[in-house]
A and B are shown apart, each in its own frame.
Chain A
Amino acid sequence: MKVLVTGIGCVSAIGTNVNDHLLSFQEKRSGLGPVTLFPTNHTEPVAEVKLSNTVLKNKLGLPEQAVISRTALLGMLAAREAFEDADLSGVTNLRIGLISSNSTGGMDLSEHFYPEFRQDPTRGNLHDIASHDPGDSTERIARLLGLNGFRTTISTACSSATNAIMLGARLIRQGILDIVIAGGTDALCKFTLNGFGSLLILDKTPCRPFDASRAGLNLGEGAGYLVLQSEKTSYRKTYCTLAGYANANDAFHQTASSSDGNGAYLAMKGALEKAGLSPDSIDYINAHGTGTPNNDASESAAIQRLFGNRIPPFSSTKAFTGHTLGAAGGVEAVFSVLALHHGILYPNLNFNQPIAETGLIPVTEYQTGVSIRSVLSNSFGFGGNNTSLLFRK
C-alpha cells in the first residue's frame, strides 16, 4: 500500500509558512542572527522564528494570557498549515493520528519556573512547569486541530521528527490508521544553547556545512509536519509518496558519529531497500549536514560508501534554518517534498572548500527546473540514532 504526502506545513527562521521558505531559498536569505528570545551570554548566531509568543497566539486564535510553551505554539502553527493544506477539517469518517516529536518538551517555560523554585520549592508558577514533558505540545496540537484519535510523541534528539514520520507511514501501511499528521517541533531555549555550547560544537560564525573549514553548528527553532495518507482514502491533491524509510543505530558513541558513518549508511541503505530502489535512482539528498567536523565527515563517508563515484546532488539547509533539533527531520522533510514537487535544489550556503578526505561538493546555487523523482532526507541524533526517509514521485 502506498503512503501519500497530501499536506505540508513548516515554520522556521526563514519563514512562517511553506511559501515564505521557498522565497528565502530563492533569495539565499539565511535566518541566522543574534539571540533575542532570552537573556544569555552566548554570542553565537542562532536562527530564531521571527514571531513573538504573543503574535503566535494571535495567529492561532489563542488567548494571549494562556500559558503555552513556544514548542507547542510553533508546532501548532506548522501542523495547522499541513492540516489545512490537506483539507482535513471536514474529514470525520477516517482514523486520523497525530505523531509529534521534540527534543526538550516545554523547556522554554521550565526555564521560567526553575530559578524561583530552586530558591524556594513552594514558589515558581506551576503553569510554567506543567508543559515540561514532550507529550504536552502534542496534546495541545491535537486539541487545536480537533483530533480525538491516536496520538504519541517521540524523542530521539535530532532524529525525532524523522522517526515520527516513519512511524506514521508504518501505522498506515499496517492498516491501523488512515491519515497521520507527523513531524516535530522545538523552540530555542537557554538549556539547549548551553548544552551544545558545553559540547564545544557551536560555531561562532554562520555554519559551513560540508566545508573544509566548518567549525560547528548553529542552533535554530521551528516545526515541520507532513500529512500522510493511505492511497485507499480520498484526497484533494498529492505531492509524492513516502516510499522508503529506515532507522539504524550507529552504536559507536553517545554523541559522536563513527568515522565510517555506519549508522548513516545503514539508514540510507535501508530506506532504499524499503522503496525497492537502487542508489542511482536518488536525484537529491537533503543531508543532515550540521556543520560540525564530526557529523559532516561521517555523513560524507556514508554517502560515498553507498553511492560510490555517482554522488547525487546534495546539500544541507542548516545554514538557512539553523539546526532545529527535534524539528529538523520535519522541517527538512517538507523541504524534500518541495524539492520533488517543484523540481528545485537548495543551495548549501557558506561552502568554499571540500573536505580533503572526501572531496564532496554540495549544491551551492538555487536551481529550478530540475528533474527530480526521488529524494533522500537524512536526520541523525544523539545516541547514534540515524534515520533516512525516501520521497518519490
Chain B
Amino acid sequence: MSKQTIYINSIASTLPDTQDSPEFVPGKQVSIQEPDYKTLIPDATLRRRMSRIVRMGVATGMQCLNKFPNAPVDAILTATGYGCLGDTEKFMNTLLDNHEQMLTPTAFIQSTFNTIGAQIALLSKNHGYNNTYTHRAFSFESALLDAILLLREEEASNVLVGAIDEMTPTVYEILKRLGLWRNALAGEGANFAILSTTAIPESYAVLEGIELFNGTYSAAEIQERIHNYLVQKEEKNVTVLFPSDYKKICGEYPTAMAYAFNTCCKHLQSGEIKTPILVYNTFLGNHSFIFLKPV
C-alpha cells in the first residue's frame, strides 16, 4: 500500500510496570506507568479538572510531541474503544442523584470521545486536522489509516496518532459479567506515536502496511491469511506477533494494538528485533494486521 516511506519518529506509552509476562491470573488488572503529569501538564487547575483518562491521554500525547524534534505536527488523531467512561458515569450519577437538577457541566464536557485530541490541540495550539475514532478493535487502526492517508495526500508531513482506554471499576465489572476475564488480563493504556514522511536520527521503525478485515476465521485461516499477506509483501524472515504474545503483558482492551505497535517500534529501534514484524489483533470479529520494518 505504501507509495512513500512512513517513519515512526516518536513514541510515548504508559507501558505496563513490567515487560516480562507476569504469572497469568485471569481477570488480573495490569498496572501501568502513568506519566509525570506535573511536567507535562504544568497548569495545576487544568490538571486537577481533568479526569484520569483525559490526564493520562493528554500527558502521554504531550510527551510524544515533546520528544519529537521536528514539532509542530500537522494533525492530531486519537482513538478510544470505550471513551471517557469515568466522566460519563460521574455525570450519570449526578443526574440520577440530583434528579436532573443543578448539574455542573465538567464531567459531561469531558465525556465526549474527542476530549483528549481536543485538549492536546488546545495545549499545543494546533489548528490542524483533528479526528477521533471509536470502533472497538478498529479504533487505533482507523486512526493509523487516516494518518497514512494524510501523509500520502501531502496534507501533512508529521501526524500525532494515539490511543487511550481506561479500566474503570464499572467497565471491569461489566466485562467480567460478559465473561471477558475468563481468559484475559484486564488492560488499559495510553499509547502515542508520530508518523512522518522523513526519517530522523531518532526514527524507530517504518510502517510498511496495515490491513483490516472482518468475520469469523479459524486459527488455520488466519495463518493462511498472514502467509498470503507476507507472500504479497515478498517477505520471508518475519516475526509474527499474535494477540496472546502481547496481551499477556498489556492485557485486553480495545486499543491494545497501540501498545503492541509502540513496543514493536521500540524493539526495532533498539535492535532487539532485527526482522520485520507483523502484529495481528482480533476482537469481536474485527481483525487487523500492522506490518513494521526496521529503518
Which positions in A face B, CB cutoff 8 Å?
40-42, 103, 105, 111, 114-115, 117-118, 121-122, 126, 129-130, 133-135, 138-139, 142, 148-157, 163, 167, 170-171, 173-174, 176, 190-191, 194-195, 197-199, 247-255, 262-263, 266, 381-385
What residues on B are CB-neighbors of A385 within 8 Å?
Answer: 114, 118, 130-131
Known contacts A151-B138, A167-B146, A382 near B109 by CB under 8 Å = yes
What residues on B are CB-neighbors of A148 within 8 Å?
Answer: 214-215
A382 in contact with B100 (CB, 8 Å): no
In the complex, what distance in Å separates the CA atom of A149 from the CA atom of B88? Answer: 31
What residues on B are CB-neighbors of A163 within 8 Å?
Answer: 131
| Interface residues in B, total, Cβ within 8 A | 60
Our count of residue pairs bridging A and B at CB distance below 8 angstroms stands at 178
- Measured CB to CB, the closest approach of chain B to A164, in angstroms, equals 10
B100 in contact with A249 (CB, 8 Å): no
B103 in contact with A198 (CB, 8 Å): yes
What residues on B are CB-neighbors of A117 within 8 Å?
Answer: 170, 174
What residues on A are CB-neighbors of B133 within 8 Å?
Answer: 152-155
In the complex, what distance in Å separates the CA atom of A190 from the CA atom of B107? Answer: 15
Known contacts A197-B103, A251-B122, A126 near B178 by CB under 8 Å = yes
B138 in contact with A383 (CB, 8 Å): no
- Measured CB to CB, the closest approach of chain A to B212, in angstroms, equals 6
In the complex, what distance in Å separates the CA atom of A150 from the CA atom of B213? Answer: 7
- Measured CB to CB, the closest approach of chain A to B104, in angstroms, equals 6
Stretch at the interface among B90-98, B189-197, B242-250: B90-98
B108 in contact with A198 (CB, 8 Å): yes
A249 in contact with B95 (CB, 8 Å): no
Closest 5 interchain pairs by CB?
A383-B118, A155-B113, A195-B108, A135-B135, A198-B103
B129 at the interface (CB under 8 A from A): yes
Chain B residue nearest to A191 (CB atoms) is B92
B121 in contact with A384 (CB, 8 Å): yes
Contact of A42 among B100, B121, B135, B142 (CB under 8 A): B100
B38 at the interface (CB under 8 A from A): no
What residues on B are CB-neighbors of A195 within 8 Å?
Answer: 91, 105, 108-109, 111
In the complex, what distance in Å separates the CA atom of A381 from the CA atom of B121? Answer: 14
Known contacts A152-B138, A195-B91, A383 near B108 by CB under 8 Å = no
- Measured CB to CB, the closest approach of chain B to A131, in angstroms, equals 12
In the complex, what distance in Å separates the CA atom of A384 from the CA atom of B92? Answer: 24
Chain B residue nearest to A118 (CB atoms) is B93
What residues on B are CB-neighbors of A174 within 8 Å?
Answer: 149, 152-153
In the complex, what distance in Å separates the CA atom of A176 from the CA atom of B134? Answer: 20
What residues on A are CB-neighbors of B92 within 8 Å?
Answer: 111, 114, 191
B131 in contact with A156 (CB, 8 Å): yes
In the complex, what distance in Å separates the CA atom of A230 from the CA atom of B151? Answer: 21
A154 in contact with B118 (CB, 8 Å): no
Q: A122-B177, A198-B103 are in contact. List 20 more A-B contacts (CB 8 A).
A: A41-B100, A117-B174, A121-B173, A133-B134, A135-B81, A139-B136, A149-B214, A150-B212, A152-B142, A153-B134, A154-B131, A157-B114, A174-B149, A194-B91, A194-B95, A194-B103, A247-B131, A382-B115, A383-B115, A383-B130
What residues on B are CB-neighbors of A199 within 8 Å?
Answer: 105, 108-109
In the complex, what distance in Å separates the CA atom of A262 from the CA atom of B121? Answer: 14
A133 in contact with B132 (CB, 8 Å): no
User: CB-defined interface of B71-105 with A at 8 Å, one 1/0 digit per residue?
Assistant: 00000100001110000110111011001110111
A247 in contact with B130 (CB, 8 Å): yes
What residues on B are CB-neighbors of A126 within 8 Å?
Answer: 174, 177-178
In the complex, what distance in Å separates the CA atom of A309 from the CA atom of B109? Answer: 36
In the complex, what distance in Å separates the CA atom of A151 from the CA atom of B96? Answer: 35
What residues on A are CB-neighbors of B145 within 8 Å?
Answer: 152
What residues on B are CB-neighbors of A173 within 8 Å?
Answer: 153
B153 in contact with A156 (CB, 8 Å): no
B125 at the interface (CB under 8 A from A): yes
